[in-house]
A and B are shown apart, each in its own frame.
Chain A
Amino acid sequence: MLDLVGQPLTWTHTLIFAAYGVLLLLIILGFVTYAIYFERKVIGWMQGRYGPNRTGPFGLLQTVADVFKLLIKEDTIPRKADRPLFILAPVITFIPSFVVVATIPFTANLIHADLNVGLLYYVALSGISTIGMILGGWASNNKYALLGGMRSAAQMISYEVPLVISVIGVIMMTGTLNLHKIVEAQGDNFWNWNFLPQIVGFIVFMIAGVSELNRTPFDLPEAESELVAGYHVEYSGFRFAFFMLAEYVYVFAIASLTTVLFLGGWHAPFALLAFIPGIVWFLLKFSIIVFFFFWIRATMPRIRIDQLMGLGWKVLLPLALLNIFITAIYMGITA
């Protein structure tokens, strides 16, 4: 299927790509629906509760009902709000979260935008969502929303720096930004994957990734007990849903990116297991990372804002910079 991308452009191809885009969008929406269900279920079990179990068998329709509820809620926009920006903000937050998925290679042959600047494209676009959050906070003309938006922006930009620098080790080892080639460079055994030689980069990437997702223990922008809800306090109905959707689509995107960059993408952990299709391995690794995000949410308390900024700038950034030199030395020894 990948050779479609290499062929000249025809209308048929365009339609196939469009159909693939729609399919992926539906898959992502399905993922988000059931990721929310499993998050509540898993955290429920970890805390000795049942989790949602009333709507549908085993509560499986709980999120569907929640989405429908949001759809039929009245949409209120405060009189003092900056109307155009208020309407635009959730859309600006959502679009990049979906567009970054275009470049993720799920298997060796599935269609994806095989960009030469794939990683840079991901990093650059995911930064745009911050603008949507600040806009939402500012346009609401609400004190809590403004403070939440500012906190969000400060946190996102502070953790974007270590996130972006921690992957440089991977780029150095593979010599490309193309995500497909990065996966190909990792072998069919788990000791050939990037997370072992890049262990420092991997840990920094995971911590900064959780923070970029605004999830516990770094969920200060939405700290319910401190800021009501943060930047989206004035949003209701489906406009609010798009902020939440963007957040969970980023869970999908970051988990996919981690799999691609550090965990060998579609490769099997042992060469003799390579007969099992790549998509199975990809989904398995992907699910483990998503579970990890849920797990730390159930385990860790929220950290304070001064600890948050201290961790980002004083620990993660120097570590990420150090990782570049460790990688350079490692490559010098092994080459």
Chain B
Amino acid sequence: MYTVKYLIVAIFVALGVLLPIAALTIGRWLRPNKPTEDKATTYESGNEPIGEGQIRFNIRYYLYALMFVIFDVETVFLYPWAVAYNQLGLFALVEMCIFIVLLGVGLLYAWKKKVLQWTSI
């Protein structure tokens, strides 16, 4: 049973890998290839690029990544609970309430600390 189901997934993965390879190979036969020095420069609105491309960026992106990890782990806990909710009953619901309230407090803390506000730094 399981082998067959995941075989379909494996076929889809194989096709997903095959399509880019096939398309790019056919493209290689059809497209021109005349590289020049100017074509290989990094694009910067038509100017000569200044400095490195991999510049320093806003620290805020890391904060969002951290928040994401916290809430994504929450969903890992929520999914099995939701599947089994009908069998688990009130006790599990109260338990989940406590868990979500704790995370909600964390969200409120981040909110008050202006992590969620784009213009605070």
Contacts and interface: CB of A to CB of B under 8 A. Distances in A.
Contact of A306 (B67, B82, B117): B117
Given A9-B3, A158-B68, A238 B27 contact: yes
A99 B11 CA distance: 9
Given A9-B7, A113-B5, A95 B13 contact: yes
A13 interface: yes
Contact of A314 (B28, B58, B111, B119): B111
Q: How large is the interface on A (under 10, 10 to 19, 20 to 34, 35 or more residues)?
A: 35 or more
Given A161-B68, A233-B43, A99 B118 contact: no
Nearest to B24: A238
Contact of B83 (A74, A115, A145, A175): A175
A314 B33 CA distance: 50
Residue from B5, B28, B49 whose CB has the most chain A CB atoms within 10 Å: B5
A108 B99 CA distance: 38
Contacts of B45: 228
A192 interface: no
A111 B64 contact: no
Given A22-B15, A144-B43, A239 B53 contact: no
B84 interface: yes
B78 A165 contact: yes
A79 B41 contact: yes
A309 B118 contact: yes
A25 B15 contact: yes
A205 B11 CA distance: 29
B5 to A, nearest CB: 5
A143 B55 contact: yes
Contacts of A102: 8-9, 11-12
Nearest to B51: A143
B77 to A, nearest CB: 11
Contacts of B105: none
Interface in A1-43: 4-7, 9, 13-14, 17-18, 21-22, 25
B39 interface: yes
Interface in B74-113: 74-75, 78-79, 82-86, 93, 96-97, 100, 104, 107, 110-111
A172 B79 CA distance: 9
A172 B82 contact: yes
A334 to B, nearest CB: 12
Contact of A112 (B8, B20, B30): B8
A237 to B, nearest CB: 6
Interface string B19-52: 1100110111011111100011111110001001
B17 A95 contact: yes
A225 interface: no
Given A74-B32, A98-B16, A324 B78 contact: yes
A310 B43 CA distance: 32
Interface stretch (A52-60, A147-155, A259-267, A271-279): A147-155
Interface of B: 1, 3-9, 11-13, 15-17, 19-20, 23-24, 26-28, 30-35, 39-45, 49, 52-55, 57-58, 60-61, 64-65, 67-68, 71-72, 74-75, 78-79, 82-86, 93, 96-97, 100, 104, 107, 110-111, 116-119
Interface of A: 4-7, 9, 13-14, 17-18, 21-22, 25, 71-81, 90-91, 94-96, 98-99, 101-103, 111-115, 120-121, 138, 140-147, 150, 153-154, 157-158, 160-161, 164-165, 168, 171-172, 175-177, 228, 233-234, 237-239, 241-242, 305-306, 309-310, 313-314, 317-318, 321, 324-325, 328, 331
A-B pairs with lowest CB-CB distance, top 9: A306-B118, A141-B53, A95-B16, A113-B8, A171-B82, A157-B68, A79-B40, A102-B12, A98-B16
